[in-house]
């Protein structure tokens, strides 16, 4: 290879290095130095003096190095974007978990307050044994008994269930299943757990029904909420 050819390759290599340095410098945020200058007119002339095949080799090498530098810059930008997206996703997940925890805490508080209110309302109510047995009872009498046994805070929910189950008929019998009484207990004999007179005394039935709602659902109002969703309790 002639002296001109050797110098032409050197100039082309310097040109390629300069281009690569500029691209990498931009990708990393650095400022290009003064020695990253464009090739001189004389250097360009020397490159032009090379044979065509050698010029092509030099130009290919330069473009390859530029493409590599641009790829490095693109990779750095993509990595930065991915890190930002990951931080955003983590923040959104943390916010969602916080909201779920706050909602669960509020629900637990509401349930605790409901149970406390139900317990407070029951503390001053009458027990079934405080009512003198009668041979028969009107709906109004049974409802009056229930108001004194259930308490004002839960009575409407309690009443709603009895309305749907038996229409306040303490002798109501389901012809197909045999369910019995105000709450359509099945079998009706399970109400004997609170009194042997469960078939004839609505106060005994009211006591059993209230105990059932409290133990299974927490309160008559929670039992009514379940009934509305399922049409049974």
Give the ranges where the chain is alpha helix by DSSP (H): 3-28, 41-48, 52-122, 139-150, 152-166, 202-217, 220-230
CA distance 150 to 123: 10
Amino acid 40: pLDDT = 59
CA distance 23 to 12: 17
CA distance 204 to 128: 6
Residue closest to 173 by CA, chosen among 160, 157, 159, 189:
189
- To which residue do tokens 């330069």 refer? 62
**Which residues does 124 contact at the CB level (< 8 Å), separation at least 6?**
151
Amino acid 4: pLDDT = 47
Backbone angles phi, psi at 83, to 5 degrees: -65, -40
Amino acid 25: pLDDT = 46
Amino acid 200: pLDDT = 96
Amino acid 98: pLDDT = 87
In the DSSP assignment, the letter for residue 173 is B
CA distance 168 to 172: 8
Amino acid 120: pLDDT = 54
Q: Give the pTM.
A: 0.48
Amino acid 43: pLDDT = 58
Amino acid 159: pLDDT = 97
> Contacts by 53-57 with C-beta closer than 8 Å and gap 24+?
54/5, 54/8, 54/9, 55/8
Amino acid 15: pLDDT = 52
Per-residue pLDDT of the chain (233 residues; tens, 9 = 90+): 544 454 555 555 555 445 444 444 444 444 444 445 555 556 566 666 777 777 777 778 888 888 888 889 888 888 888 888 898 888 888 898 888 888 888 878 777 766 666 555 554 567 877 788 899 999 999 999 999 999 889 999 999 999 999 999 999 999 999 999 999 999 999 999 999 999 999 999 999 999 999 999 999 999 999 999 999 99
Amino acid 219: pLDDT = 95
């Amino acid at each position: 290879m002639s002296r001109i050819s050797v110098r032409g390759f050197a100039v082309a290599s310097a040109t390629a290095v300069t281009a690569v340095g500029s691209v990498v410098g931009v990708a990393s945020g650095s400022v290009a130095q003064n020695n990253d200058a464009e090739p001189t007119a004389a250097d360009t002339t020397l490159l032009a003096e090379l044979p065509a095949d050698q010029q092509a080799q030099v130009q290919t090498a330069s473009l390859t190095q530029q493409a590599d530098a641009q790829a490095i810059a693109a990779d750095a930008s993509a990595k930065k974007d991915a890190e930002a997206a990951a931080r955003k996703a983590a923040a959104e997940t943390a916010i969602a978990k916080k909201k779920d925890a706050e909602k669960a805490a509020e629900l637990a508080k509401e349930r605790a307050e409901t149970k406390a209110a139900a317990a407070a309302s029951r503390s001053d109510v009458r027990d079934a044994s405080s009512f003198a047995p009668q041979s028969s009872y009107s709906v109004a009498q049974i409802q009056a008994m229930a108001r004194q046994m259930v308490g004002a805070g839960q009575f409407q929910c309690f009443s709603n269930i009895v309305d749907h189950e038996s229409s306040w008929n303490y002798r109501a019998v389901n012809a197909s299943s045999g369910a019995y009484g105000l709450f359509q207990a099945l079998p009706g004999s399970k109400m004997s757990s609170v009194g042997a007179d469960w078939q004839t005394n609505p106060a005994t039935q009211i006591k059993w029904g209230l105990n059932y709602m409290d133990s299974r659902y927490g309160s008559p109002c929670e039992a009514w909420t379940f009934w509305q969703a399922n049409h049974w309790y």
